[in-house]
């Protein structure tokens, strides 16, 4: 956008800056929802015994290439590779596209396998995928990631799925459904892959380019293809469940027994094969009915019994999930759960704003506000030198419940406390103000 330089009298072109494609600003009007969701995640992690951990936003690229899989879309097409602009570093780095590989790297690097198992951890933060941006798909997005490393299941599989389900209900998304699958392990999956490849092979020439390539690199992915021809073919494709070995079958059945006992609703879905290579046995994704496209998954996860060893540790079973916070927040703001969204928006404002009867008396306003803030209260100030009426209007717009009007009576230690909702006010001793406001904040 070109902007005319009016002040100088010269018409010049100013650059207009904007967020990089696929990224977004979270403005204060929406931020309260983000914060509520984050608080709910952290609180649930604590209640379920998952301790918080953080890893760097970037890692050696090999952590993802090896961990997530070099032939996955996430690594092959979407990895944000970063190279330092100077210095001698020869490492290849990449921004983390997901948290699991980095967490497992940390588990191995810090010898966490010597601590009592399983290690239950939770990570909340931004991830980066250089994907084609579209609704629900961003280049920087947030995940709440939860992992239990060192437990072969099946009970912990159900604990993890129940935890994710509880999170959605807690933030007000009541109609989220888990889709559940088992993709077998290194004993039974290879035989299935052979059967699957043989089934597709005669149709290969009719398949789109991507699916033809996947037939060679990762035929399982054809099962969740969105291509009409492949969907048609998939009706008669061999079913993985018919090929599960006895141990995988027993595991799958036991996960379901635990979920049923916990009354967690789920649907069996053989197409949940996941886009990352590290999975074995249990896999799952979360959707709202009617929004079940690839960009609609509100979260997903599964068991990854081979990853710790793949990244240099001892063979260690593990399971986890990551929930897509951007999509959760959109679902909340979409209006499906209006009440919660409205409540959030109201929650962002300060309890009270200190305003002044004398527009110039900013020192007094700041002094009163500072005292209240030091006493632990959330108090805004209006420091604009404008009429009291305008200051009060602004306080209402900000969502404040009270205005504290500072005037001449301050000399006697008195201010006016105005209830902005009731439009009534009364004099209050400055020495009583903090405790009175604290009572009001507590609903008194
Ligand atoms: P994922 O299925 O790749 O799994 O991502 C989990 C969730 O992150 C998705 O269901 C979606 O909600 C969200 N998400 C993914 N990509 C984007 C994007 N470009 N924009 C917005 N949201 C997105 C994982 O990442 C695994 N690490 C999960 C896991 C943990 N498995 C075991 N432990």
Indicate which residue's Cα is closest to atom 12 of ligand 1: 324
Closest residue to atom 25 of ligand 1, CA basis:
98
β-partners of residue 94 are: 59, 81
- Which residue's CA lies nearest to atom 16 of ligand 1? 137
Q: Best substitution site from 22, 50, 72, 98 to test ligand 1's pocket, by max atoms within 8 Å of Cβ? A: 98
pLDDT at residue 12, rounded to an integer: 62
- Specify the residue with its C-alpha closest to ligand 1, atom 9: 299
Q: How far is CA 377 from the centre of its chain?
A: 30
Residue from 126, 136, 143, 325 whose mutation best tests the ligand 1 pocket (most atoms within 8 A of CB):
143
Distance between CA 157 and CA 284 in Å, rounded? 10
Give 142's pLDDT tier (boundaries 50, 70, 90): very high
Domains and CATH numbers, the chain: 28-188+244-334 (3.30.930.10), 349-441 (3.40.50.800)
* Residue that wins the pLDDT comparison between 152 and 4: 152
pLDDT tens, residue by residue, 85-120:
676 667 789 999 999 999 999 999 999 999 999 999
**What pLDDT does residue 345 have?**
52
Crossing angle of the two packed helices 28-47 and 338-347, in degrees rounded to 10: 110
At 19-64, the pLDDT tens digits run 999 999 999 888 989 999 999 999 999 999 999 999 999 999 999 9
d(CA 324, ligand 1 centre) in Å = 6
Per-residue pLDDT reduced to its tens digit, 202-216: 998 888 888 888 888
Give one word for 431, left, alpha or beta, with left for phi > 0 and alpha for psi -120 to 50: alpha
What pLDDT does residue 343 have? 52
Residue 198 CA to ligand 1 center (angstroms) comes to: 31
In this prediction, residue 441 carries a pLDDT of 84
The answer, yes or no, to whether any atom of ligand 1 lies below 6 A from the CB of 299, is: yes
Q: Which of 149, 138, 136, 46 is nearest to 101 (CA)?
A: 149
For 56-76, how does the pLDDT look when each residue is reduced to its tens digit (9 = 90+)?
999 999 999 999 998 888 998
Q: In this predicted structure, what is the pLDDT of residue 220? A: 87
Share of the chain above pLDDT 70, in %: 93
State the greatest distance between any 2 C-alpha atoms of the chain, in Å, as a whole number: 93
Which of 26, 53, 79, 301 should be mutated for ligand 1, with most atoms under 8 A from CB?
Answer: 301
Which atom of ligand 1 approaches the CA of 298 most closely? 12
Report the 10 Å Cβ neighbour count for 63: 20
DSSP assignment of 245-291: -HHHHHHHHHHHHHHHHTT--EEE-TT---SSTT--SEEEEEEBTTB
**Does 97 contact ligand 1 (Cβ within 6 A)?**
no
Q: Is the model's pLDDT at 344 over the cut of 70?
A: no
User: How does residue 337 score in pLDDT terms, banded at 50, 70 and 90?
Assistant: very low
Judge contact between 153 and 319, C-beta under 8 A.
yes
Tokens of 174: 């009541």
- Using the Cα atoms of residue 90, residue 91, residue 95 and residue 97 in order, give the sign of their dihedral: positive
pLDDT of residue 336: 46
Residue 359's pLDDT band, with cuts at 50, 70 and 90, is confident
69 close to ligand 1 (CB < 6 Angstrom):
no
Does ligand 1 have an atom closer than 6 angstroms to the CB of 321? yes
Q: What's 334's DSSP letter?
A: I
* pLDDT reported for residue 10: 54
Q: Is the distance from the beta carbon of residue 211 to the nearest atom of ligand 1 less than 6 Å?
A: no
Task: Report residue 1's pLDDT band, with 50, 70 and 90 as the boundaries.
Answer: very low
Band of residue 431 on the pLDDT scale cut at 50, 70, 90? very high
Q: How far is CA 334 from CA 33, 144, 249, 340, in A?
A: 12, 20, 40, 11
Q: Are strands 266-268 and 177-182 parallel, antiparallel or unpaired?
A: parallel
Give tens-digit pLDDT for 237-264. Answer: 999 999 999 999 999 999 999 999 999 9
CB 428 within 8 A of CB 414: yes
220-234, 297-311, 373-387, 419-433: which range is least confident on average? 220-234
Interval 317-326 mean pLDDT: 98
Q: Is the minimum distance from the CB of 100 to ligand 1 under 6 angstroms?
A: yes
What pLDDT is attached to residue 444? 57
The dihedrals phi and psi of 399, each to the nearest 5 degrees, come to 90, 15
- How many whole angstroms from 380 Cα to the centroid of ligand 1? 38
Query: What is the C-alpha separation between 381 and 404, in angstroms, rounded?
Result: 9
- Mean pLDDT over 388-402 rounds to 92
d(CA 356, CA 365): 6
Q: Which two tokens stand for residue 4?
A: 């005319």
Q: What is the mean pLDDT of the chain?
A: 90
pLDDT at 347 over 70: no
The yes-or-no verdict on residue 294 having pLDDT over 80 is no
Q: With CA atoms as reference, report the closest residue to 278 among 440, 146, 98.
A: 98
Evaluate if residue 2 carries a pLDDT over 50.
Answer: no
Q: Is 324 in the pocket of ligand 1 (CB under 6 A)?
A: yes
- pTM of the predicted model as reported, rounded to 2 decimal places: 0.88
Res 246: pLDDT: 97
Confidence of residue 409 (pLDDT cuts 50, 70, 90): very high
C-beta 141 within 6 A of ligand 1? yes
């Amino acid at each position: 956008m070109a902007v005319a330089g009016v002040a100088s009298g010269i018409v010049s072109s100013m650059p207009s800056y904007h967020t990089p494609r696929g990224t977004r600003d979270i403005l204060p009007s929406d931020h309260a929802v983000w914060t509520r969701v984050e608080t709910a995640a952290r609180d649930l992690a604590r209640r379920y015994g998952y301790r918080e951990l953080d890893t760097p936003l970037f890692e050696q690229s090999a952590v993802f290439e090896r961990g997530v899989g070099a032939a996955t879309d996430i690594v092959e097409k979407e990895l944000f590779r970063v190279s330092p602009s100077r210095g001698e570093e020869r490492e290849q780095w990449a921004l983390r596209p997901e948290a699991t590989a980095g967490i497992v790297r940390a588990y191995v690097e810090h010898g966490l396998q010597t601590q009592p198992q399983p290690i239950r951890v939770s990570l909340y933060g931004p991830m980066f995928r250089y994907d084609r941006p579209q609704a629900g798909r961003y280049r920087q997005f947030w995940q709440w990631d939860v992992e239990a490393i060192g437990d072969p299941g099946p009970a912990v599989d159900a604990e993890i799925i129940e935890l994710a389900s509880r999170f959605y209900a807690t933030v007000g998304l009541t109609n989220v459904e888990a889709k559940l699958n088992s993709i077998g392990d290194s004993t039974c999956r290879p035989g299935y892959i052979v059967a699957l490849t043989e089934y597709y092979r005669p149709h290969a020439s009719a398949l789109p380019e991507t699916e033809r390539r996947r037939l060679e690199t990762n035929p399982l992915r054809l099962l969740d293809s969105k291509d009409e021809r492949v969907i048609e073919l998939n009706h008669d494709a061999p079913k993985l469940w018919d090929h599960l070995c006895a141990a995988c079958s027993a595991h799958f059945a036991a996960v379901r027994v635990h979920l049923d006992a916990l009354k967690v609703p789920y649907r069996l879905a053989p197409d949940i094969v996941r886009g990352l290579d590290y999975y074995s046995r249990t896999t799952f994704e979360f959707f709202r009915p009617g929004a079940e496209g690839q960009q609609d998954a509100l979260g997903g996860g599964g068991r990854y019994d081979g990853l710790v060893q793949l990244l240099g540790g001892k063979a260690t079973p593990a399971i986890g999930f990551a929930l897509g916070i951007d999509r959760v927040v959109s679902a909340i703001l979409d209006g499906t759960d209006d009440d919660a969204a409205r409540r959030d928006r109201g929650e962002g404002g300060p309890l009270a704003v200190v305003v002044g009867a004398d527009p110039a008396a900013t020192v007094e306003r700041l002094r009163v506000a500072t005292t209240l803030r030091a006493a632990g209260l959330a108090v805004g100030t209006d420091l604009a030198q404008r009429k009291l009426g305008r200051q009060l209007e602004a306080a209402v717009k900000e969502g404040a419940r009270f205005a504290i009007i500072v005037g001449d009576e301050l000399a006697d230690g008195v201010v006016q406390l105005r209830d902005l909702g009731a439009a009534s006010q009364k004099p209050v001793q400055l020495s009583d103000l903090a405790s009175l406001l604290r009572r009001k904040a507590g609903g008194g």
